[in-house]
Chains A and B, each alone.
Chain A
Amino acid sequence: MERNTMSYKSKQFLMFAGPALVLFCMVIIIPFLYGLYLTFTSWDGVSADKPFVGIANYISAFKDAYFWASMGRTIVYSAFAVVFVNAVAFALAYLVTSGIKGQNFFRAGFFIPNLIGGIVLGYVWKFVFNRAFVAIGEAVVAGTVPSLLSSTGGAMFCLVLVSVWQYAGYMMLIYVAGFMGVSDSLKEAAMIDGCTPAQAMRNVTIPLMRTSFVTCIFLSITRCFVVYDVNLSLTKGEPFNSSVLAAMHVYNKAFIYKDYGTGQAEALILFIVCAIIGIAQVYIGKKGEVQA
């Protein structure tokens, strides 16, 4: 068998990656390129003619102060959300793999938030923040207590909290798989060599779980950057548009303010920022990977 010829390589490649490649190109690459073309037109989203306007949309995107404000907010939100999501998920994964009774039950339980779809999730949390917490707060201080959602910082805090609640269970699954991939014998060997459990965790388990970390952090970054439905159903950008995150702004720009070209251009900028951060993180993460 000749393993270095072009034909062998392409046959192998197509045999394994062909189906995925075709579908991937059809639903992502082609529409993406077409969308890219639309950013150079002043299309309104419904009209038949799409007048070519060059880079005018990019210029107005760069001048759009609301867009950059939403971008800044998204970065702050993502930073907090990613750290807390992963910290909580890792801790939970550790606890539910420690061999206690009913760990399967807990694993299933922590995953439950993922079963509630976007919009209703927002409604339910709105209940919790606007009604339940307020009722509890009023009982404690015996006076009126404003809801967390009604202050600028509070609304962002709520968004982070709900994101942690929503994604931690999901990321926990990946960390669980990571923990289980590290065999007990390695840990035991480390303990016999005199490591404390904490040391074994730091020096053996965590380095071997690097892939899980890279995966989870990447997933949480990318999800946080393009979060839309929780934003819509929980805060709707309120109070006074102070919690509009980038994806929501892009959607509003394109469809509600009917400036499709600029919206699409802003979405592209969002994509590039997000891609740079995501890929940089994967690159750095993978570089130091432990080869076992």
Chain B
Amino acid sequence: MNVNDKAARQKRTRQIITIIVLIVVFLLFVIPFLLVLINVFKIKGDITSNPLALIGEHGFTLQNFPDAMAKMDFWNVFKNSAIITFCATVLTILFSAMASFVIVRNQNWKACSLLFALMIASMVIPFQVLMVPLVSVYGGIFHILNSRITLILMHTGFSVSMATFMFHGAIHSNIPLELEEAALIDGCSRWQTFWKIVFPLLKPTVATVAIIDAMAFWNDYLLPSLVLGDKDLYTIPIATQAFYGTYSTDIGLVMAALLLAMLPILILYLFLQKHIVAGVTAGAVKG
């Protein structure tokens, strides 16, 4: 047995162990998700009496889906959610990447450090603190609630802090200053440098921020419920919450609504997942 064989074998055993560990942890992670999947095909009574059974006593049913879709006016709320999530995610990424660029590169400017400190501090404000003042100002004084644009801008406003924080870290440690200096010498303005050199290198972070914020916007309930009063403007979580109640819960419908709601995000994630990898490997950012 030569040395190479041995090393290769060791490597394989290690890989197998890793995979086994991952599978075990993976199962732990998806059990609750599987429970949703199992129970979505049952009627309410069967869910309560035995949530673990694969098929309920009253048999397999698909009825939860059309019921949930009809009750929540699915296609309309889906469209609303899609528009709001997409616009707010794009705006968040653009605005916070820009802001973090100027903050990282000009740390000695007072405005920059002040803004950054405020942003970090704001991330720990419990939303309940801002809830009533927010609607008092924008509903009570300016009367601009009940609008998708308002919601998009508010979503963006609430999430720029965290996105800026993440881009800040990425620019700070992953974008070499020399690249920018070279571009500046070539006659690029700061603005051009940012878009042509820096932003493309931020792809992995863009993908991360995109998936995290898109998720947050897609699933957010509290803010949209405060801003959107009109039924025509409802998003998926607001429509779904009509199923939750203090005194009774049709959990089968809830699960169906939930499954419908998370599919698009799951697909988006699988798609972006590739980009996180591709972005990093193609960039060869650091070395």
> What is A's interface to B at a CB cutoff of 8 Å?
9-10, 12-13, 15-17, 19-21, 23-24, 26-32, 34-35, 38, 45, 92, 95-96, 98, 100-102, 104, 106-121, 123-125, 127-128, 131-132, 135, 165, 169-170, 173-174, 176-177, 180-183, 185-186, 208, 210-212, 214-215, 218-219, 222, 225-226, 228, 247, 250-251, 254, 260, 263-264, 267-268, 270-271, 274-275, 278-279, 282, 289, 292
Instruction: Answer whether A131 and B258 are a contact pair too, CB < 8 Å, given A20-B95, A28-B158.
Output: no
CB neighbours of B32 from chain A (8 A): 113, 116, 121, 124-125, 128, 165
Tell whether, in the assembled complex, residue B273 and residue A19 are in contact, meaning their CB atoms are under 8 Å apart: no
CB neighbours of A177 from chain B (8 A): 170, 204-205, 208, 276, 280
Residue interface mask B151-165, A partner, CB < 8 A = 1: 001101110111011
CB neighbours of A210 from chain B (8 A): 173
Q: Closest chain A residue to B211 by CB distance?
A: A173
> Max chain A CB contacts within 10 Å: which of B19, B31, B129?
B129
Tell whether, in the assembled complex, residue B115 and residue A117 are in contact, meaning their CB atoms are under 8 Å apart: no
- Closest 8 CB pairs between A and B? A27-B157, A23-B157, A16-B102, A31-B133, A20-B99, A274-B124, A34-B133, A180-B280
> Max chain B CB contacts within 10 Å: which of A16, A92, A132?
A16
User: In the complex, A114 Cα to B91 Cα: how many Å?
Assistant: 22
> What is B's interface to A at a CB cutoff of 8 Å?
15, 18-19, 21-22, 25-26, 28-33, 35-36, 51-52, 91, 94-96, 98-99, 101-103, 106, 109, 111-112, 115, 117-130, 132-134, 136-137, 153-154, 156-158, 160-162, 164-166, 169-170, 172-174, 190-191, 194, 204-205, 208, 211-212, 215, 219, 221, 237, 241, 244, 249, 251, 254-255, 258, 261-262, 265-266, 269-270, 273-274, 276-277, 280-281, 284-287
| Cross-interface CB contact of A13 among B111, B174, B255, cutoff 8 Å | B111
Tell whether, in the assembled complex, residue B35 and residue A127 are in contact, meaning their CB atoms are under 8 Å apart: yes
Tell whether, in the assembled complex, residue A118 and residue B121 are in contact, meaning their CB atoms are under 8 Å apart: no
Instruction: Answer whether A211 and B111 are a contact pair too, CB < 8 Å, given A98-B18, A112-B33.
Output: no
CB neighbours of A106 from chain B (8 A): 22, 26
| Cross-interface CB contact of B215 among A110, A115, A251, cutoff 8 Å | A115
> Max chain B CB contacts within 10 Å: which of A31, A98, A131?
A31
User: In the complex, A92 Cα to B165 Cα: how many Å?
Assistant: 23
User: In the complex, A65 Cα to B160 Cα: how many Å?
Assistant: 36
> Max chain A CB contacts within 10 Å: which of B117, B130, B276?
B130
Tell whether, in the assembled complex, residue A19 and residue B211 are in contact, meaning their CB atoms are under 8 Å apart: no
Tell whether, in the assembled complex, residue B126 and residue A247 are in contact, meaning their CB atoms are under 8 Å apart: yes
Tell whether, in the assembled complex, residue A131 and residue B157 are in contact, meaning their CB atoms are under 8 Å apart: no
Tell whether, in the assembled complex, residue B123 and residue A24 are in contact, meaning their CB atoms are under 8 Å apart: no
Tell whether, in the assembled complex, residue A181 and residue B103 are in contact, meaning their CB atoms are under 8 Å apart: no
CB neighbours of B170 from chain A (8 A): 177, 211
Instruction: Answer whether A17 and B26 are a contact pair too, CB < 8 Å, given A271-B126, A278-B123.
Output: no
Tell whether, in the assembled complex, residue A116 and residue B173 are in contact, meaning their CB atoms are under 8 Å apart: no
CB neighbours of A274 from chain B (8 A): 124
Q: Closest chain B residue to A34 by CB distance?
A: B133
Give the interface SS of chain A, mostly helix, strand, loop or mixed.
helix
Tell whether, in the assembled complex, residue B169 and residue A128 are in contact, meaning their CB atoms are under 8 Å apart: no
User: In the complex, A254 Cα to B120 Cα: how many Å?
Assistant: 25
Q: How many whole Å from A76's CB to the nearest CB in chain B?
A: 18
Q: How many whole Å from B99's CB to the nearest CB in chain A?
A: 4
| Cross-interface CB contact of B173 among A10, A107, A270, A292, cutoff 8 Å | A292
Q: Closest chain B residue to A11 by CB distance?
A: B190
User: In the complex, A267 Cα to B133 Cα: how many Å?
Assistant: 13
User: In the complex, A210 Cα to B172 Cα: how many Å?
Assistant: 12
User: In the complex, A91 Cα to B19 Cα: how many Å?
Assistant: 13
Pull 24 A–B residue pairs with CB atoms less than 8 Å apart, ordered by A: A16-B190, A21-B115, A24-B122, A24-B160, A28-B125, A28-B161, A31-B130, A32-B122, A35-B133, A95-B22, A102-B19, A113-B29, A119-B241, A120-B258, A131-B52, A173-B276, A177-B170, A177-B280, A180-B277, A181-B280, A183-B287, A186-B287, A267-B126, A274-B124
Q: Closest chain A residue to B122 by CB distance?
A: A28
Tell whether, in the assembled complex, residue A17 and residue B115 are in contact, meaning their CB atoms are under 8 Å apart: yes
CB neighbours of B262 from chain A (8 A): 115-116
User: In the complex, A104 Cα to B172 Cα: how many Å?
Assistant: 27
CB neighbours of A226 from chain B (8 A): 124-127
CB neighbours of B205 from chain A (8 A): 177
Q: Closest chain A residue to B266 by CB distance?
A: A115
Q: How many whole Å from A35's CB to the nearest CB in chain B?
A: 4
| Cross-interface CB contact of A279 among B106, B120, B194, B211, cutoff 8 Å | B120
Instruction: Answer whether A116 and B215 are a contact pair too, CB < 8 Å, given A20-B164, A104-B273.
Output: no
User: In the complex, A2 Cα to B26 Cα: how many Å?
Assistant: 57
CB neighbours of B35 from chain A (8 A): 124, 127-128
Q: How many whole Å from B250's CB to the nearest CB in chain A?
A: 12
Q: How many whole Å from B143's CB to the nearest CB in chain A?
A: 15
